[in-house]
Structure 1
């Protein structure tokens, strides 16, 4: 690929400057060359070289406003805002119509969290600039800082009207639409954008994401296809397309798309995991397990990989192996309520009731307040003969489920077991009021209680009422 004259001059200036640094010879550069050299080093994160270049530049061009503005930018970067502001005021006295002065004033205001004032400065810059897109983009960012997503969106749209190739503005527009829950409006906007810029793979990709978000998976796939036609190495589009194909249960095609991402880049644990899930859905257990194993080989710290193998073995009813792998997941994330629930359920299947009780207790401790978790936990406590603990657990559960008959029937049964008939009848009365027909729970869970004629008479009496 041939370089343009501008690129050749730019590279020549850089080589000449770096050669000067090595030989300690002082060579002459015009002010614009110095500006490009300094900005190059700033972009590369080489601030020491940028400062050295600026020092030499100001020695050779002490009156250059362009270089002084670069100096202001560096001062702001170093949080030397007062010095930068003073220098800007001096420049303003000389060049009051220089838009860069207002942009840098806005930059200082933004650093001080004075975002409204920053917008005021940028609006003045609009009167003097030729680069409207850049200024609208900066205004949009200030509105984002203020959490004013509607005005931010308007500014980024204006930016794209000036420069439709500004990809960061395109991403920001979509972000604003999504944050405002305006997905359909976003789809309409991106479709209009594509009418004008049909070869924007970024726009097609964003459109696909938006369709995916509103569960229009066929449209999403079509958009991702266009993105990959424009750029056949667009890894993100192949990944998103695979996810959409999974949603449509087109598992063979999803596997193809995930494999394409692996061809384009090193295999990711996510892609391997999804391929394994697809093979499992297709009923190919051998390949499913193979890819789950590849997943954890690729990333041994990916707990989701170990959980996928756990769930695989649970479905095969191989609980011994499932227990081994759920412990692997818990070793990585021992505060995950869903993992503890799996741990409990597996131990329960293996009749390891004390371990199962511990698992359900940990699941609740880490935020699993689902009704079935409470009930599984309580039933195990009851089986272990820990009636008092079971009652305390149910009372805790009743705070989340105050009108739940399954909680009330269990409380009634446990209180009867402890011969606390007053509390037992209170909770039985509640349970019968909430769901009379579910009294069968007493027979199933508390056969000793059900055997008492007084209890059955109490239930019959409640029915007559």
Structure 2
């Protein structure tokens, strides 16, 4: 007959675990009180061993059949091991034993949320709200459900309630920023974080989110001040350094940005994005060797980072090494095929190499992906004009004007092409449009066709608009 020992909750949790493992080894049957079993289950959860924790929960249920806690623990573990029907069944049994335990409804809400059965998730979370002592995490979950349903206004209401319960709930602060972001409501975001900071001036997360909201409003000086406060409160806050670096880049303070980006390395492992950002700063400072070195570090760390491959191409292009640049531009394009900037760089490099048909194809792709890129339309038409394809060049600019009816540059360019084709009346009509859009840019016309500076009709028309 098996010998039975009893272990109580006064003992050290580690001792309970050792005794439990000894029982399994010896194939004995020891009795543990409920608290000891909880300690053992929690130990295996912390060790990330859900299978062993489930085994303990089963033992615990056999020895304490009326304790709902072990059914609840079992349900939590079944969720982790993706056994959804079994988790629901365990929760139903737990509810029969102790219907007033909030955890039952929180876990059930989690399950329904993961199944995208949102109304049932909300129903369970609302029940949990009535039963739980601390409700900030439940309010956060309700906010998540409304986010998933696309109802960001209601999500914001619950996130604010969550923060009212617990001003230090970092997740709620970040989710609130996310909701304002999706709704593109940065003004309200700024207002909220400023009010929040009045009550919680030492919340580094609030200062950080305020900085992000200012950044999105292009108020970069204010953003930098907010990031500085976040860093002052938590000097190891790498994300605040990184975003401060980005704000400095937007102010074209590239040397300062490099220093700030480098500070992130003191608090977190260097990563591909930061190396790439530093590379871009050196590129803007025209220190191409340094730029290339950092872009190379970036792709070594993350070979899928298209911007870094592109950056290497830009540094080579700057040194007029167009053939090599093209190789790296194409590597970037392979990773992000619909990036209009990559196509533009390829078109330009092909043109500089004298590969006009390839350049034409690439420009065609640029204007297809970004029909608002006036420079691309102008360059595309120029290539056709250079090859004496006057009709095609004119058609391209006409198409460009359809997409960008406010652009004076396009009207001046079509005037030049129409004059070159001998279509004077049409050219003069378009000249009036160009001068109406922006009379000061009439020099574009003479850049393209210098001989028109001697044309009295044109000079008179321009004089009417520029007096």
The whole-number CA distance in structure 1 between the counterparts of 2:99 and 2:128 is: 10
Query: Which of the residues 411, 423, 430 maps onto 1:405?
Result: 411
2:6 aligned partner: none
Query: Which of the residues 104, 122, 130 maps onto 1:119?
Result: 122
1:69 aligned partner: 72
The whole-number CA distance in structure 1 between the counterparts of 2:279 and 2:121 is: 51
Query: Which of the residues 144, 147, 161 maps onto 1:158?
Result: 161
1:238 CA drift (Å): 1.8
List per-residue Cα deviations over 1:270-308 (Å, max 9, x = no partner): 333333443455565554455445445555553323433
List per-residue Cα deviations over 1:136-164 (Å, max 9, x = no partner): 22222222222222222222222222223
Q: Does 1:29 align with 2:35?
A: no
* 1:433–1:187 Cα change, 3 Å: closer
Give the match's secondary structure for 1:233.
coil
The whole-number CA distance in structure 1 between the counterparts of 2:214 and 2:457 is: 58
1:86 CA drift (Å): 5.1
Q: Does structure 2 retain, via aligned residues, the 8 Å contact 1:391–1:414?
A: no
Q: Does 1:187 align with 2:186?
A: no
Q: Does structure 1 retain, via aligned residues, the 8 Å contact 2:230–2:237?
A: yes
The whole-number CA distance in structure 2 between the counterparts of 1:231 and 1:435 is: 55
The whole-number CA distance in structure 1 between the counterparts of 2:306 and 2:289 is: 21
2:379 aligned partner: 376
2:465 aligned partner: none
Q: Does structure 1 retain, via aligned residues, the 8 Å contact 2:325–2:349?
A: no
Q: Does structure 2 retain, via aligned residues, the 8 Å contact 1:327–1:343?
A: no
Query: Which of the residues 156, 164, 171 maps onto 1:168?
Result: 171
1:65 CA drift (Å): 0.8
Q: Does 1:431 align with 2:434?
A: no
List per-residue Cα deviations over 1:328-370 (Å, max 9, x = no partner): 1312324232122112223434544334323323434555552
Q: Does structure 1 retain, via aligned residues, the 8 Å contact 2:211–2:223?
A: yes
1:312 CA drift (Å): 3.8
1:97 CA drift (Å): 2.5
Report the count of equivalent residues. Answer: 442
2:281 aligned partner: 278
The whole-number CA distance in structure 2 between the counterparts of 1:332 and 1:246 is: 22
Query: Which of the residues 215, 231, 234 maps onto 2:234?
Result: 231
The whole-number CA distance in structure 2 between the counterparts of 1:10 and 1:92 is: 28
* 1:278–1:147 Cα change, 3 Å: same
Query: Which of the residues 200, 203, 209 maps onto 1:200?
Result: 203
1:419 aligned partner: none
1:399 CA drift (Å): 5.2
The whole-number CA distance in structure 1 between the counterparts of 2:183 and 2:122 is: 21
1:57 CA drift (Å): 2.0
Give the match's secondary structure for 2:32.
coil
The whole-number CA distance in structure 2 between the counterparts of 1:296 and 1:115 is: 42
Q: Does structure 2 retain, via aligned residues, the 8 Å contact 1:304–1:329?
A: no
1:145 aligned partner: 148
List per-residue Cα deviations over 1:231-250 (Å, max 9, x = no partner): 33222122122222333444
1:68 CA drift (Å): 1.4
User: Which TM-score applies when normalising by structure 2?
Assistant: 0.76
1:131 aligned partner: 134
The whole-number CA distance in structure 1 between the counterparts of 2:234 and 2:384 is: 59
1:9 CA drift (Å): 3.9
The whole-number CA distance in structure 1 between the counterparts of 2:94 and 2:296 is: 64
List per-residue Cα deviations over 1:150-191 (Å, max 9, x = no partner): 222222222222223322222222222333333333334334
Give the match's secondary structure for 1:243.
helix
Aligned residue runs from structure 1 range 321-400, under 5 A = 321-334=321-334, 335=337, 336-367=339-370, 370-386=373-389, 390=393, 393=396, 397=400, 400=403
The whole-number CA distance in structure 1 between the counterparts of 2:176 and 2:449 is: 61
Deviates more, 1:116-125 or 1:363-372: 363-372
Q: Does structure 1 retain, via aligned residues, the 8 Å contact 2:211–2:224?
A: yes
* 1:134–1:375 Cα change, 3 Å: closer
The whole-number CA distance in structure 1 between the counterparts of 2:79 and 2:297 is: 49
Residue ranges of structure 1 left out of the alignment (5+ in a row): 1-5, 417-423, 451-455
CA RMSD of aligned residues (A): 4.2
1:421 aligned partner: none
Give the match's secondary structure for 1:333.
helix
